Amino acid sequence: MLESMIAKVGSSVSSACTSICVAACFWPLVGAYYCLKFSIKAAESTIEAGYDVYNRRRIRTRRLPKSKPLLATASSSPQTATYPPTARARTSFLHLPPEIRLHIYRLALVGPAIVQVRTHSSFWGPRPAGWDSAQGIRDDTDAPSNALRCITGLGGSGLHQLVSPPSHGCVRYHAVSRLICGEGHHMVPGWVQPEKVVFPTDLMRSSRVVYGEVLDMLYASNTISLFGADIARYFCRNASPEGLSRVRFVHVALVMPSHGWDSSSQMKNVRGAMRMLKDALPSLQQLDVEVALTYGQPKNPERFWDWLREDVLGQFRGLERFVLKVSVYKPLRPNRSRGFEGSTPQYEPLSSWDDGEYQVLKDGALLSTEAASF
């Protein structure tokens, strides 16, 4: 009897010691895990904040030096320059007809594509398969950009385009990979696989003739997608003058606060950026403008609609194609467990939108400059 009682007491003491040892080992590990977790989150937040500050400074101050202008003469324009071989000269790539050289460029480069401009490593992606060969922007019947709603709902912007939902437990989500125009997945950056990607600049450095021909394909054949007024300014200040003069297809996304759109700085920034685009792109043919208001209907929607039509977009003339989409994002309550879907706000049309006035705006944008002057 006594021996059994001693054994029970011994086993109780042993189990208590085991529990104490497990607790002594377990709780420090739990504390270390949470310390590491919050330290990583704090470091990520600090890095993102620093990157945003750096990007904003880069947007405000960066201006590339002016490049040497291309020689545009009747005998040696980029599209027609050929060098007929002589009896003593050796045949080279430049002796090929321009049509064959352009076909070789198309095989070597990606295009026509959608280029979403960033301060570093711009995104590239294919145009939607349903677009015809002459189409560089969306149609009026296309829905507003789902990728733009997702990025905006996650707190992203033109300066911070790579965003992902907050982690849910141990589940971490990848970043948004869709373009805001066309909804296609952007391609892997060329610097990730440099041995498999031909960079346009690699060809453009070979000669001035090749530079002009590739420059025409790079700017004239692709759709330039600009996320925000700041990126539009950045593009106009840092692209080459010869490239800007060739741009034909442009998509612009403007995300504005519903209750702060009428501040003087906001109105001046948007209006000035669109005027800069008009002045910097003399060959612009197709313009796609998407306006997103966050969150809810704007203060004084009639005044917003008049300002958007007259001051911001009323300055464009001579376009072949013009599309405007205005989305009002509804207030959002993020749901981490639903990932991207839980961070994408629903949208509704602008309460002051008028189809007749939009048609008048479209007709004015498609009107030739000469006809508008009379």
| d(C-alpha 77, C-alpha 82), whole Å | 9
Averaged confidence pLDDT in the chain: 82
Output the CA angle 363-366-370, nearest 5 degrees.
Answer: 110
Each residue's pLDDT tens digit, 246-297? 999 999 999 999 999 999 999 999 999 999 999 999 999 999 999 999 999 9
Q: Given this model, what pLDDT does residue 363 score?
A: 95
pLDDT band at 209 (very low <50, low <70, confident <90, very high): confident
258 closest CA partner among 366, 343, 330, 167: 330
* DSSP string over 271-329: HHHHHHHHHH-TT--EEEEEEEEESSSPSSHHHHHHHIIIIISTT--S-SEEEEEEEEE
Residue 228: which of 82, 32, 55 has the closest Cα?
A: 55
Residue 2: predicted pLDDT: 53
Domain residue spans in the chain?
A: 1-60, 94-373
Show Cβ contacts of residue 336 under 8 Å, excluding neighbours closer than 6 positions. 165, 166, 167, 168, 342
Condensed to tens digits (0 to 9), the pLDDT of residues 343-357 reads 899 999 999 999 999
Q: Is the pLDDT of residue 74 over 50?
A: no
Alpha helices in the chain (DSSP H): 2-61, 98-108, 146-153, 200-204, 208-220, 229-238, 241-244, 264-280, 301-307, 355-366, 369-373
**pLDDT at position 83:** 56
Name every residue whose Cβ is closer than 8 Å to that of residue 260 and which is 6 or more positions away in sequence.
266
Q: What does the alpha-carbon distance between residue 343 and residue 166 come to, in Å, rounded to a whole number?
A: 9
pLDDT digits (tens, 9 = 90+) for 56-68: 666 666 666 666 6
Residue 215 confidence (pLDDT): 86
Give the pLDDT band of residue 106 (cuts 50, 70, 90): confident
Task: Give the Cα separation of 109 and 218 in Å (integer).
Answer: 9
Strand 123-126 relative to strand 223-227: parallel, antiparallel, unpaired? unpaired
Give me the mean pLDDT over the 165-169 stretch: 76
Let me know: does 364 contact 310? Beta carbons within 8 Å: no
Asked whether residue 152 carries a pLDDT value surpassing 90, the answer given is yes
Residue 119 has pLDDT above 80, yes or no: yes
The DSSP code for 196 is T
Alpha-carbon distance 124 to 151, whole Å? Answer: 17
pLDDT reported for residue 341: 83
Q: Which of 29-43, 64-78, 121-135, 353-367 has the lowest mean pLDDT?
A: 64-78
Q: Long-range contacts made by residues 4-13, C-beta under 8 angstroms, separation at least 24? A: none
Q: Which SS3 state, helix, strand or coil, does residue 263 take?
A: coil
pLDDT value of position 62: 67
pLDDT over 90 at 54, yes or no: no
Residue 321 has pLDDT above 70, yes or no: yes
